[in-house]
Structure 1
Amino acid sequence: MQRALTIVADDYGMGPATSRGILELACLRIITGSVMIVNTPFAAAAAAEWIDTAPEVDLGWHPNLTLDSPVSLAEHVPTLVRKDGSFWPLSVFLGKLSLGLINMAEVYRELKAQYDRFQELMGYVPRVVNSHQHVTIFPNIDAVLFEVLKDQNPRPYIRRVVEHGTSLMRVPGARVKRAVLASFGRRVARRASSIGYPGCDWIAGVTDPAHVNDDEFWVRWFEHVGPDGSLEICCHPGFRDETLLNRDCAEDGLVRRTREHLLLKAPSFRDAFTQAGFQPVRPSAMAA
């Protein structure tokens, strides 16, 4: 039997060249979905280009609490922002979250504003949802996200940040990070499943920039994802995008994105998932 495979490119709308790279993969139907950050200076143009191009791929929402500035006025979400009105970086955000210094009412206000902004830009509710830097798998943030989405029907596909033990042991790169994400992700995945949100059983692709240089990067993942269940490929492709420097990443991050883009377009990617018995599907089809 073939196993369902969703291939979801994160960070559409983050920067112009990043968005163009993702849109190219969508037009080629190499990816089956993408998610848009709506609070960047480039989101509106990216949304318009997606609408004009109309690829046969799902575009959803990428909730974000760690990049650029909020959709809400900064004075309305003071625990989420620095003095200049921009979000805290991830490390600071998680530190404040662990100390109880992040106000959940403000998190709700901002995520609801972003959810509404997505609908303003695209004209429909998101059928795919996963968060930038996985922030919504952490305690209390997940509950806020489910509250924002509670009235949406049909339920959107939500990424389940759960990695199969086989790949965690056998695929190198960022193992500590992946283990921590999976420990938080399992709890959220169980809750999402219990209240009817579709999603894949496993995730693959989380790593660090150095390991994306390997030509066998995707081949190795498909060899070690485990013998059963559906799989989501979490990827971050794009053309070289100088607007990301000092906003999202350093030089190695730019290299990683262009490298992932090339690896996804290479015939070896399709060969690897075909030989492993996977069939690509759009995330919105997973509800069936």
Structure 2
Amino acid sequence: MKKLIINADDFGYCKGVNYGIIEAYSDGVLTSTTMMANMPGFDQAVDLHKQYPGLGIGIHLVLTTGRPLLKNLKTIVDADGNFRNQAYYKGSFIIDQQEIYDEWKAQIEKILAAGIQPTHVDTHHHANLFGDFNEIYLHLADEYQLPVRNNFQNQDASRRTTDGFVYTMETVIQTTETLEQLFETQDSVEIMCHPAFLDKFLLNHSSYTYPRTEELELLTHPTIKDLFSTQDTIELTTFKSV
């Protein structure tokens, strides 16, 4: 049986995102999500998880959105104490990597303290790919014995992850043929998505807004639900099965 994980990033971002993710899970084909520990929707996301325990919950490590959990950081925040924008990391930069390790560890610990047993770990805006931050990311994954998102090259064969990773959900979740093509050379795949309802916080703080509603519609569309219910070769699952 092939294994497909459909994972929604940004759980905890805000109410609109939280409710969109729950809708995509309870009335759609979403199986998994990753949680942001530093955003205003965190507490609500924890409460929603208690209501929907079957939804896989991973950790979405944040470096580029909102404010960090820790105080007195110097190199990964701007003058207002917010995380630096991801554009900062496009050029040359000087960062104290200990600050990244400490902040990401604090985010993991906050999620664990909320009673979440995380299924895996990934990063917001793929921040593990900035500079050599992947070493920090993998160190933490090993420290907490968590599977990781397969978004980088040179994977250790012993590391727990999927065989494949897809950025663009709409190109894959279309027909039986597109799904079969996806699994021609791999047995397990994660598809990343960002379903949401729009609220004012999301509109004011994210550059990715209206496409989230399109993703939500796709994940809950009767045709897509039928696509998975009428086949018996692909299992919709979470990182617990990796």
1:88 aligns with 2:92: no
Q: How far apart in 1 are the matches of 2:21 and 2:89?
A: 28
Q: How far apart in 1 are the matches of 2:85 and 2:147?
A: 26
Q: How far apart in 1 are the matches of 2:197 and 2:130?
A: 30
Deviation track 1:80-100 (CA, whole Å, cap 9, x = no partner) reads: 0110111111111332xxx34
Structure 1 residues without counterparts, runs of 5 or longer:
162-184
Q: How far apart in 2 are the matches of 1:157 and 1:54?
A: 22
Deviation track 1:170-208 (CA, whole Å, cap 9, x = no partner) reads: xxxxxxxxxxxxxxx113xx13x43x3x2211112338x
Find the counterpart in structure 1 of residue 17 from structure 2.
18
Contact 1:29-1:56 at 8 Å conserved across structures: no
RMSD over aligned Cα, in angstroms?
A: 2.3
Deviation track 1:216-237 (CA, whole Å, cap 9, x = no partner) reads: 7731753653512121111100
Q: How far apart in 1 are the matches of 2:18 and 2:99?
A: 29
Q: TM-score normalized by structure 1? A: 0.75
Match of 1:158 among 142, 148, 173: 148
Find the counterpart in structure 2 of residue 164 from structure 1.
none
Structure 2 residues without counterparts, runs of 5 or longer:
none
Find the counterpart in structure 2 of residue 137 from structure 1.
129
Match of 2:190 among 223, 226, 232: 232
Q: Percent identity?
A: 27
Q: For 1:257, what is the secondary structure of its paired residue?
A: helix
Find the counterpart in structure 2 of residue 174 from structure 1.
none
Find the counterpart in structure 2 of residue 218 from structure 1.
173
Q: TM-score normalized by structure 2? A: 0.88
Once the two structures are TM-superposed, the CA of residue 38 in structure 1 deviates from its matched residue by: 0.6
4+ residue runs of structure 1 moved beyond 3 angstroms? 220-224, 270-277
Contact 1:27-1:55 at 8 Å conserved across structures: no
Q: For 2:205, what is the secondary structure of its paired residue?
A: coil
Give the paired residue count: 238
Find the counterpart in structure 1 of residue 99 from structure 2.
106
Once the two structures are TM-superposed, the CA of residue 275 in structure 1 deviates from its matched residue by: 5.7
Find the counterpart in structure 2 of residue 261 from structure 1.
216
Within 5 A, what are the aligned runs for 1:35-74?
Answer: 35-51=34-50, 53-73=51-71
Contact 2:59-2:108 at 8 Å conserved across structures: yes
Q: For 1:126, what is the secondary structure of its paired residue?
A: coil
- Return the structure number with greater helix share: 1
Once the two structures are TM-superposed, the CA of residue 116 in structure 1 deviates from its matched residue by: 0.8
